[in-house]
């Protein structure tokens, strides 16, 4: 496999003005007839036409109507080459493919009984020969022909322009998409589906038909997605001035899908897990995911489709911006603070680990072997943080101007991240040259802060310094342009801020927040007229994706927890406080089996738990200890067992000490919620999150009454959130005495959910993620279960992913059995679905973070994968890069 470099980018040799496709779908083969109107790029007069094609059988090829003979062209595994062509011509070819055998779920494939496509990033070349690159944009017309009874619904992008009957029970439908697009946005669906319809009137008064296609059994599960779609359409008009452009917007739900969903023009294809929702099968988190993903894909219509990427190194141009847009949308639909905390929490425990691992890459990578490996937390989530920093630096108003300018300048074009930033720079008059390091350099910067109060001068000096560890693409780093949002907390609350001298910073209208811009390795900012020694509250709203180092005492953290109005900092202070307490326990565990837990944490938690003024969802978040992953991230070598035991010890201490408070909290909310049927609105979600946090702590005590309460919730619940919360608390409980109860509840749940694939996935996951010893044996038996399906990525993610990525203590068992198991699975999956195999492999690549013995076992597992003959480029890239 060979490496592709951003620096080697060169414009295409040919352009495809028109693409006319005809698909003849049969059970054994599919015939694809393609007619392309091609024009040479006049800047490249001598270049031959090289079309991409993979796993396709070429039946015939013609130029301007003349059929070519085999000597007129060359074909290899990945391309079709024709030389000596005129400047403009018609290329036609017929290819034969076998979608029913396509287990990679890339290109045209079958999910259960339905034909569907996934073309991003480079799947179109598995359908027919084409210039499969995003800077080749073309107008597509697609005719789909299939058996009418089996496939009554035939779809492609754009508007339906014709339909008819054929002999032999077959029929056809033709679609035309008037907007130019790259092949990665092409889609086709053929199946026996029903549709649920609704309408949306755009800001200019156009009527849009909204249509969701599902299997008949899922008819009652798309109302929520439909409403989310309408909310997203309205929001994009209100917040970004973006209106939908076609007359119809379609979503199709499919079971077997590598990603969450895909933004194909006018015909989004969704993993069922990201579109279907019902109270009995979907948790609150599931509802929020549906809302977020529906919006994300819809937003791509502008940030991705109307303006797309020049090449795949620019992936974050559309993904970072679109994630930022969907995060803000979800924030507006629910609680902005809760959303921010959840996003940051995920970024810090997952993206930071990626940035510190062997696959670390800049938001705009400079090279890759297989682009599928770069649909990462860095490109998506860190990319969104970078866009957020741009907004923080220039303000909401200028940001909107910049986005308007970007869309106006580049509508219908395939552009670069530099083009996006240039629009922001031009609209705001700001200089973003140093800022570009966020796109070009990998790694999480460390931001160290030191405060110094001078009582005589009434000044507070804040010295900010930055550094960034080496990453594969660069050993040394240029400084980042870091916006640091700061408040100074006095005894009574935030102090009014004023800065000495001419520094790069801005102060909010209420004078309570300053955004300091750190642009070199170290700078000191001096606040004046500070009447008392303040506690600085740093990185408000998590204003930059950095690791903050400030030597807070517990008292200072306590002040932030009680006085800060910024929800993120308040939550983070509670996390940092808990980290200090857990660290003490970890240190003490070396010498004593049952060390004490700092009582002041309990008191802080008690205050939070009984604070009626706080949003219940915030209370739940503040009472959640840092995850094992996040604790591990603070360590040079992750001490898996000690982290697990120390954290558990603290959990148990909190549970026992605050038992009465948790019970009162549980009963109160339980009663409030019981008054009305389930609803996934923000207020009810918040209450359920706190109630179930309380339940988890109650079960942690192991008291029989608590187990009874949990069992009662499991049995009486009318919604999946409460059912899963109760089931999880029981199944994950270490209490051996309830083994029979666990088994009975699991059996009961399966009996109820058998026919609900998405519920069964959660049933799989709750078992695969159980920290109780023996999880591997459970996982192995789940893979033999009648409901397990090795071709379905959701099942793989639930069982294998659940165990390897969300069950540290069992996956990292000292015996190495978890590693060996994962290697076996990767070797098997590599031939079947390389994208999923490569993704599931991630935990093994982090071997450097573990002790020597585990390192060796993990490397052995990686080596075994590498030794597999015919390894896919996807897995090859990840394994080789991680073994360096």
User: Which one of the spans 97-105, 186-194, 244-252, 260-268 is the region binding ligand DPP (CB under 6 A)?
Assistant: 260-268
- How far is it, in rounded angstroms, from Cα 95 to Cα 701? 64
Own/partner long-range contacts of 665-672 (Cβ < 8 Å, ≥24 apart): 665/609, 665/690, 665/691, 665/694, 666/691, 666/694, 666/695, 666/698, 666/709, 669/616, 669/694, 670/713
Beta strands in 775-844 (DSSP E): none
Q: Are 189 and 264 in contact (CB under 8 A)?
A: no
> Which of 38, 34, 59 has its CA nearest to residue 49?
38
Residue 177 interacting partner from ligand DPP, Zn ion, none (CB closer than 5 to 8 Å by kind): none
Q: Is 120 in the site for ligand DPP (CB under 6 A)?
A: yes
Kindly state the smallest distance separating residue 225's Cβ from Zn ion, in Å. Answer: 16
Q: Is 326 in the site for ligand DPP (CB under 6 A)?
A: no
Q: Are 244 and 279 in contact (CB under 8 A)?
A: no
- Of the pair 184, 847, the CB lying nearest Zn ion is at 184
What Rg value do the Cα atoms of the chain yield, rounded?
28
User: Which one of the spans 29-37, 282-290, 296-304, 620-628 is the region binding ligand DPP (CB under 6 A)?
Assistant: 296-304
Find the angle CA(89)-CA(189)-CA(154) to the nearest 5 degrees.
Answer: 85
Kindly state the smallest distance separating residue 367's Cβ from ligand DPP, in Å. Answer: 20
Contact set for ligand DPP, span 480-519 (CB under 6 A): none
Check 297, 564, 700, 877 and give the catalytic one: 297
Residue 3: how many other CB atoms lie within 10 Å: 10
Give me the phi and psi of 295, to 5 degrees please. Answer: -65, -45
Kindly state the smallest distance separating residue 772's Cβ from Zn ion, in Å. Answer: 37
Residue 482 interacting partner from Zn ion, ligand DPP, none (CB closer than 5 to 8 Å by kind): none
Among 108, 232, 261, 726, binds ligand DPP (CB under 6 A): 261
- How far is it, in rounded angstroms, from Cα 724 to Cα 41? 58
Q: Are 364 and 440 in contact (CB under 8 A)?
A: yes
Among 92, 215, 297, 355, binds ligand DPP (CB under 6 A): 297
Residue 877 interacting partner from ligand DPP, Zn ion, none (CB closer than 5 to 8 Å by kind): none
Q: Is 263 in the site for ligand DPP (CB under 6 A)?
A: yes
In the sheet where 248-254 sits, what is the strand order? Answer: 194-201, 207-214, 248-254, 267-271, 261-262
Tokens of 331: 């924030």
Please report how many Cα atoms fall inside a 13 Å half-sphere around the Cα of residue 648, on the Cβ side: 18
User: Which one of the spans 91-99, 276-284, 295-303, 461-469 is the region binding ligand DPP (CB under 6 A)?
Assistant: 295-303
For the chain, how are helix, strand and coil distributed in percent, rounded to 5? 45, 20, 35
Find the angle CA(124)-CA(130)-CA(131) to the nearest 5 degrees.
Answer: 100
What SS3 state is found at 705?
Answer: helix
Q: Are 136 and 182 in contact (CB under 8 A)?
A: yes
Which residue in the shown chain puts its C-beta closest to ligand DPP? Answer: 262
Sign for the pseudo-dihedral over CA of 43, 44, 46, 51: negative
- Of the pair 91, 257, the CB lying nearest ligand DPP is at 257
Contact set for Zn ion, span 280-319 (CB under 5 A): 319
Residues in binding contact with Zn ion, number by CB under 5 A: 2
Please report how many Cα atoms fall inside a 13 Å half-sphere around the Cα of residue 303, on the Cβ side: 29
Kindly state the smallest distance separating residue 293's Cβ from ligand DPP, in Å. Answer: 8
Tokens of 801: 């992913």
Kindly state the smallest distance separating residue 176's Cβ from ligand DPP, in Å. Answer: 23
Tokens of 303: 């940030």
> Which of 347, 370, 294, 303 has its CA nearest to residue 3?
370
- Of the pair 308, 692, the CB lying nearest Zn ion is at 308
Residue 746 interacting partner from Zn ion, ligand DPP, none (CB closer than 5 to 8 Å by kind): none
- Of the pair 187, 745, the CB lying nearest ligand DPP is at 187
User: Which one of the spans 166-174, 254-262, 628-636, 644-652 is the region binding ligand DPP (CB under 6 A)?
Assistant: 254-262
User: Which one of the spans 256-264, 600-608, 655-663, 685-693 is the region binding ligand DPP (CB under 6 A)?
Assistant: 256-264
Kindly state the smallest distance separating residue 376's Cβ from ligand DPP, in Å. Answer: 11
- Of the pair 254, 262, the CB lying nearest ligand DPP is at 262
Residue 120 interacting partner from ligand DPP, Zn ion, none (CB closer than 5 to 8 Å by kind): ligand DPP
- Of the pair 253, 766, the CB lying nearest ligand DPP is at 253
Kindly state the smallest distance separating residue 332's Cβ from ligand DPP, in Å. Answer: 20
> Which of 448, 327, 444 has its CA nearest to residue 384?
327
Q: What is the per-residue burial (b if ≥16 Cβ within 10 Å, else e) of 172-183?
A: bbbbbbebbbbb
- How far is it, in rounded angstroms, from Cα 400 to Cα 362? 26
User: Which one of the spans 258-266, 456-464, 543-551, 865-873 is the region binding ligand DPP (CB under 6 A)?
Assistant: 258-266
Asked if 381 is an active-site residue, the reply is no
Contact set for ligand DPP, span 678-707 (CB under 6 A): none
Kindly state the smallest distance separating residue 295's Cβ from ligand DPP, in Å. Answer: 11
Give me the phi and psi of 877, to 5 degrees please. Answer: -60, -45
Give me the phi and psi of 663, to 5 degrees please. Answer: -65, -45
- Of the pair 123, 680, the CB lying nearest ligand DPP is at 123
With left for phi above 0 and alpha for psi between -120 and 50, is residue 266 left, alpha or beta?
Answer: left
Which residue carries 């939070």 as its tokens? Answer: 608
User: Which one of the spans 32-40, 93-101, 194-202, 255-263 is the region binding ligand DPP (CB under 6 A)?
Assistant: 255-263
Give me the phi and psi of 669, to 5 degrees please. Answer: -70, -40
Torsion (CA) 858, 346, 872, 54 in degrees, nearest 10: 180
Residue 146 interacting partner from Zn ion, ligand DPP, none (CB closer than 5 to 8 Å by kind): none
Q: Is 319 in the site for ligand DPP (CB under 6 A)?
A: yes
Among 93, 262, 389, 482, binds ligand DPP (CB under 6 A): 262
- Of the pair 294, 369, the CB lying nearest Zn ion is at 294
Kindly state the smallest distance separating residue 322's Cβ from ligand DPP, in Å. Answer: 7
- How far is it, in rounded angstroms, from Cα 147 to Cα 25? 8
Contact set for Zn ion, span 312-331 (CB under 5 A): 319, 322
Residue 259 interacting partner from ligand DPP, Zn ion, none (CB closer than 5 to 8 Å by kind): ligand DPP
Kindly state the smallest distance separating residue 263's Cβ from ligand DPP, in Å. Answer: 5
Residue 291 interacting partner from ligand DPP, Zn ion, none (CB closer than 5 to 8 Å by kind): none
User: Which one of the spans 294-302, 364-372, 752-760, 775-783 is the region binding ligand DPP (CB under 6 A)?
Assistant: 294-302
Q: Is 259 in the site for ligand DPP (CB under 6 A)?
A: yes
User: Which one of the spans 186-194, 292-300, 347-355, 415-423 is the region binding ligand DPP (CB under 6 A)?
Assistant: 292-300
Kindly state the smallest distance separating residue 843's Cβ from ligand DPP, in Å. Answer: 22
DSSP assignment string, 210-239: EEEEE-GGGGGG-HHHHHHHHHHHHHHHHH
- Of the pair 155, 706, the CB lying nearest ligand DPP is at 155
Kindly state the smallest distance separating residue 191's Cβ from ligand DPP, in Å. Answer: 20
Kindly state the smallest distance separating residue 883's Cβ from ligand DPP, in Å. Answer: 28
DSSP assignment string, 92-123: EEEEEE-GGG-TT--EEEEETTEEEEE-TTTT
Residue 559 interacting partner from ligand DPP, Zn ion, none (CB closer than 5 to 8 Å by kind): none
Q: Is 813 in the site for ligand DPP (CB under 6 A)?
A: no
Q: Are 727 and 714 in contact (CB under 8 A)?
A: yes
- Of the pair 325, 653, the CB lying nearest ligand DPP is at 325
Which residue carries 């179109």 as its tokens? Answer: 124
Q: Which residues bind ligand DPP (CB under 6 A)?
A: 120, 259, 261-263, 296-297, 300, 319
Site residues (vs Zn ion, CB under 5 A): 319, 322
Hey, which residues are catalytic here?
297
């Amino acid at each position: 496999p060979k490496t592709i470099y951003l620096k080697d980018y060169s414009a295409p040799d040919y352009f495809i003005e028109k693409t006319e496709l005809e698909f003849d779908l049969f059970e054994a083969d599919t015939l694809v007839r393609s007619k392309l109107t091609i024009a040479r790029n006049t800047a490249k007069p001598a270049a031959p036409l090289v079309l991409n094609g993979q796993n396709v059988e070429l039946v015939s090829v013609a130029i301007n109507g003349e059929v070519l003979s085999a000597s007129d062209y060359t074909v290899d595994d990945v391309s079709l080459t024709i030389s000596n062509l005129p400047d403009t011509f018609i290329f036609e070819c017929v290819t034969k493919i076998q979608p029913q055998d396509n287990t990679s779920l890339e290109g045209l494939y079958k999910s259960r009984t339905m034909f569907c496509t996934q073309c991003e990033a480079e799947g179109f070349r598995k359908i027919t020969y084409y210039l499969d690159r995003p800077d080749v944009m073309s107008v597509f017309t697609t005719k789909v022909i299939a058996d009418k009874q089996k496939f009554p619904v035939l779809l492609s992008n754009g508007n339906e322009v014709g339909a008819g009957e054929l002999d032999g029970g077959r029929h056809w439908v033709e679609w035309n998409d008037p907007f130019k697009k790259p092949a990665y946005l092409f889609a086709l669906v053929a199946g026996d589906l029903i549709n649920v319809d609704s309408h949306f009137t755009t800001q200019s008064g156009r009527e849009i038909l909204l249509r969701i296609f599902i299997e008949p059994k899922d008819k009652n599960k798309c109302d929520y997605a439909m409403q989310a779609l309408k909310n997203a359409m309205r929001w994009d008009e209100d917040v970004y001035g973006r209106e939908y452009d076609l007359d119809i917007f379609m979503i199709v739900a499919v079971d077997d899908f590598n990603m969450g969903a895909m933004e194909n023009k006018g015909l989004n294809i969704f993993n069922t897990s990201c579109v279907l929702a019902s109270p009995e099968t979907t948790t609150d988190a599931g509802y929020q995911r549906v809302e977020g993903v529906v919006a994300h894909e819809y937003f791509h219509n502008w940030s991705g489709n109307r303006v797309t990427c020049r090449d795949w190194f620019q992936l974050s141009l559309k993904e970072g911006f679109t994630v930022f847009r969907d995060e803000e949308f979800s924030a507006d639909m629910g609680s902005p603070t809760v959303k921010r905390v959840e996003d940051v929490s995920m970024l810090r425990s997952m993206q930071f680990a990626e940035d510190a691992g062997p696959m670390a890459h800049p938001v705009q990578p400079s090279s890759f072997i297989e682009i599928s490996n770069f649909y990462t937390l860095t490109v998506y989530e860190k990319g969104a943080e970078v866009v957020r920093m741009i907004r923080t630096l220039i303000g909401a108003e200028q940001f909107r101007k910049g986005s308007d300018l970007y869309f106006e300048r580049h509508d219908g074009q395939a552009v670069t991240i530099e083009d996006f930033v240039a629009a922001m720079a031009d609209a705001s008059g700001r200089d973003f040259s140093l800022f570009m390091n966020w796109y070009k350099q990998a790694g999480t910067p460390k931001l160290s802060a030191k405060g110094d109060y001078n009582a005589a001068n009434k000044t507070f000096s804040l010295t900010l310094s930055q550094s960034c560890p080496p990453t594969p693409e660069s050993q040394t780093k240029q400084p980042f342009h870091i916006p640091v949002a700061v408040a100074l907390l006095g005894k009574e609350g935030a102090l009014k801020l004023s800065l000495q001298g001419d520094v790069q910073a801005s102060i909010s209208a209420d004078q309570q927040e300053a955004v300091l811009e750190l642009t070199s390795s170290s700078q000191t900012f001096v606040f004046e007229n500070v009447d008392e020694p303040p506690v600085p509250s740093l990185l408000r709203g998590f204003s930059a994706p950095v690791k903050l180092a400030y030597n807070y005492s517990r008292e200072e953290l306590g002040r932030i927890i009680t006085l800060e109005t910024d929800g993120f900092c308040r939550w983070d202070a509670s996390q940092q406080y808990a980290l200090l307490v857990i660290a003490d326990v970890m240190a003490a565990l070396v010498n004593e089996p049952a060390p004490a837990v700092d009582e002041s944490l309990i008191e802080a938690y008690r205050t939070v738990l009984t604070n009626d003024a706080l949003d219940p969802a915030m209370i739940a978040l503040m009472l959640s200890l840092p995850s094992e992953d996040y604790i591990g991230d603070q360590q040079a070598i992750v001490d898996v067992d000690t982290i697990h035991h120390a954290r558990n010890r603290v959990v148990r201490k909190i549970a026992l000490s605050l038992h009465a408070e948790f019970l009162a909290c549980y009963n109160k909310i339980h009663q409030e919620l019981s008054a009305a049927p389930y609803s996934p609105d923000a207020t009810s979600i918040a209450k359920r999150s706190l109630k179930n946090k309380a339940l988890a702590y109650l079960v942690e005590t192991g008291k029989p009454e608590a187990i009874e309460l949990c069992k009662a919730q499991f049995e009486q619940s009318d919604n999946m959130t409460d059912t899963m919360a109760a089931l999880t608390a029981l199944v994950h409980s270490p209490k051996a005495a309830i083994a029979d109860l666990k088994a009975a509840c699991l059996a009961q749940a399966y009996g109820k959910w058998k026919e609900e694939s998405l519920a069964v996935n959660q049933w799989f996951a709750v078992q695969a993620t159980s920290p109780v010893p023996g999880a591997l044996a459970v996982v192995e038996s789940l893979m033999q279960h009648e409901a397990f399906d090795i071709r379905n990525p959701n099942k793989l993610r639930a069982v294998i992913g659940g165990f390897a990525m969300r069950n540290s203590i069992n996956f990292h068992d000292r015996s190495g059995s978890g590693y060996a198991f994962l290697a076996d699975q990767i070797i098997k999956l590599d031939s079947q679905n390389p994208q999923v195999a490569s993704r599931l492999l991630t935990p093994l690549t982090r071997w450097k973070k573990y002790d020597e013995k585990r390192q060796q076992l993990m490397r052995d597992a990686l080596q075994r994968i590498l030794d597999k003959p015919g390894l896919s480029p996807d897995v090859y890239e990840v394994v080789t890069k991680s073994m360096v």
